[in-house]
A and B are shown apart, each in its own frame.
Chain A
C-alpha cells in the first residue's frame, strides 16, 4: 500500500466516524440493495446537477470534528439524505481549472492551468449531447472564475466544436453590465486567487450580456440591482443558476464554486468564511431543486471538491494556504450524492477516483463516456 493510499484510508475512517456520530448514518458496504429495484423507481427525464465545492477545502475545516461548525447546512439537511463517499482521490494536477477539467472529462488533463485552453479529452457535456442528440440548451456550466470559460467543450476532434455545454460566467456578465467605466471593473475580473493579477483572455462560447433578457428573462437593470445585494461571486452563480433552471431547465447543469480559494491570500478567516458560504449555497441549491417543478423528484445532485489543501504538518507547504505539495490531504476528498434512487444516510469507505464522476453521470443519464479513464460508481446507480 502506498503512503497516499494509507493516508487516504485514514482520512476516510475519520470522516466516517465523525459522520456516524454527527448524523447517525450507516456504513454502506453492508446495506447495498437491489440495483434493479432502485432503477425501477427512477423517474423519466432524469436531470443531474453537479456542484464542485471549490476551490479546495480540508477535512479539519469541514468534516473532521473541529470543522463541523463550518458545514452545519450540509450536516443537517444534506448528509442524512445522501450517500456519502469518504475517500475520493485525485491523482492529477492540483490546479483548479485543470482539476475541474479532469472532473468534467473523466481523464487527467494536463492543460496549462493558467491558459485559456479547452480540455483535451471529451467533456461529459459532449458525451451527453452527442450520444443522446440533445440541444445546446440542455447542458450548461455556471462558473464564477473567468478562467473557466473553456471548460464546456474540449478540443477533441471527434467531439469538440458545437457539441459542448453553454458556459455562463456571472462575474463576466456583471462586469459587462457595469460597463468598463466602473472603478472596480478590473477587480471583478481578477478572480484567480492563485494568481490574483492575472486576467485570462475570454474565448469560446460564453454567454453574452444581451442573452440575459432573451434566455433568462432578466433585465440588465434587475441583474445589477440583485448583484448589489450579494456578498460573493458564488452567490451570484447560484442566483444565475436558479434563473437558468427556471427559464431553460437544462438536464445537465454544472456549477463551479470558487470562493474558498481566497485561502491563497493566507487569511484563514476568509477561507473559513468561504467554506461556510459554500455550505449554505449547497443547501440552497438542493432547496431550489426540490422546489422547481422541472427538477423536483427527478434530479440527482452530486457535490464534491475538486481537491483539498496542504496539511499543516507538511513542511513543504504552508498549511491551508495552498495546494502545492501534492500530499495525501490535498489529494483526498469526498463525494455526496442526493436524489431519487440514491439511498439515504449511507457512507462508503472504499476508494473512489475523482475520474469516476463522468462515467457515473453517463450511467445515470444513459450515455457512455467512452474515453473516460474512470469507472461508474455502482453504489449510486
Chain B
C-alpha cells in the first residue's frame, strides 16, 4: 500500500489522540513518500505517551509539511523519493507497525548500499525543518549536573578530560553535603520555573530523597520491571525460530502491562521507563549504561531545563575465569569501572544538552562525588581554565545560576 491510498479508517487501532492527529493531517500524509512516512507515523502512533515538548515538535512538523506547496514538498523530500524500496517493504503493514517498518527499512538501506543517500536526505530535511520551524527556547537557561564516582575512595587518573576544554576545572572543592546542595538547587529551580517534565533527577542506583516536583527515574526503582523483562526475554528465546530481529520487535512492542508491573499515576513516565529498558542496549544489566541512556533520552525527548544525573556502581563484568567457577553469590560491584563509565557519561550528558535550543546560555556541572574534583561549564565560565583555590558546591552553583 502507498501513502496516497491512506484513509481515516486505517488509523482505527491508534490511541485516541494519535488517531485524531493522523486524520487531521491525512491530506499531508498522502503526499509523502513511503521511505519517509512510516518514520513520521512511528512518532504519531505514540503521541498519547509523548512528553509535551515532543508533542509540540511533532505537531509543528506536520503543520509545516502541510504549509509547503506541492513543489516545495517535492523539493524537501526529493532525497527520500529517490530511495528504492523492496516489494516486501511496500507490502508491509507500515501503518500499524511503523517502528518495525523502520527497522526493516534500515536493514534494506544497509543491504542495498542506500544508507549514505538516506543519511544525506535525512540530514538535509532536518536542517530545513530546523530553519523553518525553530525549536522553542527554554523558559530559563538549562542546567545539567552529573555526579559520578559513588563508592570510589581513591582514584589517581585525571577526570573530566573531555569537559575541561569547555570550562573550568576545580581541584579543591569541599565535598560536604554536596549531593544535598545539588538536589536542593534543582528543587529550587523547579519551584521558580514550573512546568511538566521540566526538571529531572535520574539515579543509577537508589534515588536519594528529593522534591516530588521533580520527574524522577532510578535504576533501583525499576528493579521489578528489569527482572520481569529479563525473564520474558529468556522465555521468548526458548521458542522455536526466535531470532534477534524478532526479539527486538517483540521488545519494542512491550507496554508496562506486559511486564506485570503495577502502573504508576503517570502513564507517560511508565512508558518512558519501559522504553529505556527495551530499547536501550545494556540498560537491563549495567546501571551506568542505564543512567547515561536515560539522560540521553530525557534530554532528546522531554527537553528538560534541569537535569541531575547520578551514576552509581554497576555490577562487575565477570572475567571468563570466574564464569568457569560457579557461584551463587550476587555479582560484585565495580566502583572504579563505573567511575570511568560515568566520566564519559558526563561528557555525553553535556553533549546531548548542548544539542537543545538555548545551548549558548546553558550551564553544566560535573562532580566526583565525595571528592574535591569538579568541572564547570557556562557562558561566564572561562574555557580551558583550572583553579586550585578552595571552593564549595554552593559557590560553584552561584557562578552558573
Contacts and interface: CB of A to CB of B under 8 A. Distances in A.
A270 B337 contact: yes
Given A268-B341, A319-B344, A321-B281, A188 B323 contact: yes
B110 interface: yes
Interface in B194-250: 233-234, 237, 243-245, 247-248
A320 B324 contact: no
B257 to A, nearest CB: 22
Interface in A181-230: 182-184, 187-188, 192, 194-195, 197-199, 224, 227-230
A66 B128 CA distance: 36
A228 B176 CA distance: 45
A93 interface: yes
A232 B319 contact: yes
Interface string A310-349: 0011011011111001110000000000000000000000
A100 to B, nearest CB: 15
A197 B233 contact: yes
A113 B280 CA distance: 20
Secondary structure type dominating chain B contacts: helix
A266 B293 contact: yes
Contacts of A267: 282, 286, 288-289, 314, 317, 337, 341
A89 to B, nearest CB: 12
Contacts, number: 118
A262 B317 contact: yes
Interface string A126-162: 0000000000000000000000000000000000000
Given A66-B161, A267-B317, A267-B341, A110 B111 contact: yes
19 contacts: A66-B161, A93-B110, A114-B243, A182-B326, A197-B233, A227-B324, A228-B324, A229-B321, A231-B320, A264-B282, A266-B282, A266-B286, A267-B314, A267-B317, A267-B341, A270-B337, A272-B340, A316-B119, A320-B344
Interface of B: 110-111, 113, 115-116, 119, 161, 233-234, 237, 243-245, 247-248, 280-283, 285-286, 288-289, 292-293, 296, 314, 317, 319-321, 323-326, 334, 336-338, 340-341, 343-345, 347-348, 351, 355
Given A198-B247, A229-B321, A266-B282, 16 more contacts: A93-B111, A108-B113, A184-B323, A184-B326, A192-B244, A198-B243, A198-B244, A231-B321, A264-B281, A267-B337, A269-B338, A270-B337, A312-B348, A320-B344, A326-B110, A326-B116
